[in-house]
Amino acid sequence: MQEPVDHDLETDNLTVCQTLVSKSFIASLIVAQWGWVMDKRTYPHLPILDSLSTAQMFEPLLYAVMVTALLAFNFNSRKMLSAATFAIAASATIEPDQTRLQPWLY
């Protein structure tokens, strides 16, 4: 005989995990902001394609969109929209500099 599963507990665990992951993304972005948006890096940008090297002027905007999307993920009920916004902005920032594709990001 199986015991009934408490679905509220599973939902709470999922919410806690989602919150911890999004907060760790925010912390990682803040700690590594020199690699994401600052011009004074010790190494050059490495674009996936040479034609994408002109997208560097949008990096601060995309960085702000990523952080805002992660904050919205924690405080908004539309989590899929926030996650999709973050994924699109992260992809757009990786294209002009593939060194941003770190293990914690994928």
At residue 106, the pLDDT reads 66
Spatial separation of the C-alpha atoms in residues 69 and 26, rounded to whole Å = 10
Model confidence at 88, pLDDT cuts 50, 70, 90, reads: very high
At residue 53, the pLDDT reads 61
Tell me how many degrees the CA angle 49-51-53 measures, rounded to the nearest 5.
Answer: 85
14-35 per-position pLDDT tens digit: 888 888 989 988 998 888 887 7
Residue with the two structure tokens 């009920």: 77
Backbone angles phi, psi at 81, to 5 degrees: -65, -45
31-81 per-position pLDDT tens digit: 888 777 766 677 777 777 777 665 667 888 988 999 999 999 988 888 899
Distances in whole angstroms, Cα of residue 90 to Cα of each of 14, 44, 51, 86:
23, 19, 18, 6
Q: What pTM was computed for the model?
A: 0.76
User: Which tokens sit at 103?
Assistant: 């293990």
Model confidence at 85, pLDDT cuts 50, 70, 90, reads: very high
Contact (Cβ atoms closer than 8 angstroms) between residue 70 and residue 82: yes
